[in-house]
Amino acid sequence: MKTMTLCLAALVAATFLPAQADKKAPTQAPNPKTKEHEALAALVGNWQTTCKMNAMPGVPGMEKAQESTGPETSELICNGLWLKSTISSTWDGKPFQGIWLAGWDAIAKTYRSVWISSDDEPASEATGTWDEKARTWTFKGSSPKGQFKSQLVFKDNDNSTETCWMTGADGKETECMLITRKRGKPGMAREASATTDMATKEMAPLAQHVGTWTGKVTMTMPGEAATEDTCTETVARICNGKWTWSDVKGSMMGQPFEGHAITGYDETSKQFVSFWVDSCGMPPMRTAGTYDEAKKQFTLAGSCFDDQGKPATVKQVCSQTDANTRNFHMTMNCSKGASEMKITYTRVKG
């Protein structure tokens, strides 16, 4: 599937290329941060987390009651537009790591979240709300196990309780999990995936992207001369090798740019799947596709929004010619026409 930077390219193009084509556009992009983003700060910190799961007969992976305790660290990324939460523990006798991304979708006027883990299951997506008076987060969405709802209530600044429900075939909600969080000392949380390898064979092509890269970016828009820029990308394994995480940094329209992608293989759809978030303030972008072993090439497609908040489509092709070189080509169709981006990556280390 596409690497994290593939996602970057799509979102960068979707948000900035049309603006650059407008000769009256300001030299700097407006600050996308709103009061809704500020609510995420309450979740930031290091936490000791205890998860108690009730037995749910007939639901794969939830047949028996379980309990797990482990450290969780939550931090703001992308200039405070997104929250990244990482929990490490042992689940069902195996090392476990899960990552939760959450941010405000200014187009749909709702919070959006994505959850991935070292479990052998696809990512889960949800939408949510924040009740400041009640200090309560409520999220609803779909998971491989079915429809779910979670409600996190702050007792005070250092303690919270999260209750989760699953919707059965009869349409009734049943409480399935209780998660308590108590604020801990800085540095207590850790990344568990570095020492535990549970990666599947499908992740082997993505593992080649792990390391640090520099990128030469060429962008072309209708009626405009091609422009060139540079970026850096660091790719790391997460969730015990079941996913990769990308840190992308550069500059756009006179401001620092930051983007991140989580990428993995979906055993259910038999496709590579990637989610992209960045400091532009747009909703998360999901792309999916396949890998051609003979061509050493990922081809993914998806949808996003342009700078006018209108739907756009993207297609991304990424090939790795050797261990130290990757080539990426993206085409995009949005409300202002078609554009393309090409990036040549050179490995720095890793």
- Domains, the chain, in order of start with CATH, read 4-31+193-349 (2.40.128.20), 35-183 (2.40.128.20)
Instruction: Give the chain's largest Cα–Cα span.
Output: 61
Percentage of residues in the chain with pLDDT exceeding 90?
63
* Lowest-pLDDT choice from 6-15, 212-221, 249-258: 6-15
Two structure tokens written together for 118: 């070292």
Q: What is the pLDDT of residue 16?
A: 36
**Cα–Cα distance for residue pair 91/144, rounded to 1 Å:** 17
Q: What is the pLDDT of residue 168?
A: 82
**Cα–Cα distance for residue pair 259/139, rounded to 1 Å:** 24
* 237 pLDDT above the threshold of 80: yes
Please report which confidence band the pLDDT of residue 161 belongs to, taking 50, 70 and 90 as the band edges. very high
Nearest alpha-carbon partner for 224 in 16, 56, 41, 23: 23
CB-count burial class (<10 Å; 0-12, 13-18, 19+) for 64:
exposed
Two structure tokens written together for 84: 């990244």
Q: From residue 26, how far is each of 21, 223, 252 by CA, in Å?
A: 11, 19, 12
Please report which confidence band the pLDDT of residue 332 belongs to, taking 50, 70 and 90 as the band edges. confident
In DSSP notation, 210-273 reads -EEEEEEEEEE-TTS--EEEEEEEEEEEEGGGTEEEEEEEEEETTEEEEEEEEEEEETTTTEEE
Please report which confidence band the pLDDT of residue 333 belongs to, taking 50, 70 and 90 as the band edges. confident
* 1 pLDDT above the threshold of 50: no
Task: Please enumerate in sequence order all residues whose Cβ is within 8 A of that of 175, keeping only pairs 6 or more positions apart, or say none.
Answer: 54, 163, 164, 165
Please report which confidence band the pLDDT of residue 22 belongs to, taking 50, 70 and 90 as the band edges. very low
Specify whether the CB–CB gap between 260 and 78 falls below 8 A: yes
Mean pLDDT of the chain: 86
CB-count burial class (<10 Å; 0-12, 13-18, 19+) for 55:
exposed
Specify whether the CB–CB gap between 304 and 280 falls below 8 A: no
* 32/155: higher pLDDT: 155
Q: For residues 57-61, give the mean pLDDT.
A: 73
* Lowest-pLDDT choice from 55-69, 185-199, 298-312: 185-199
Two structure tokens written together for 202: 């499908």
* 199/263: higher pLDDT: 263
**Cα–Cα distance for residue pair 301/10, rounded to 1 Å:** 10
Residues 98-136: tens digit of each pLDDT: 999 999 999 999 999 999 999 888 999 999 999 999 999
Q: What is the pLDDT of residue 171?
A: 86
**Cα–Cα distance for residue pair 96/266, rounded to 1 Å:** 18
Q: What is the pLDDT of residue 186?
A: 66
CA quadruple 42, 109, 305, 224: dihedral positive or negative? negative
| CA angle (250, 255, 258) in 5-degree steps | 40
Residues 95-108: tens digit of each pLDDT: 999 999 999 999 99
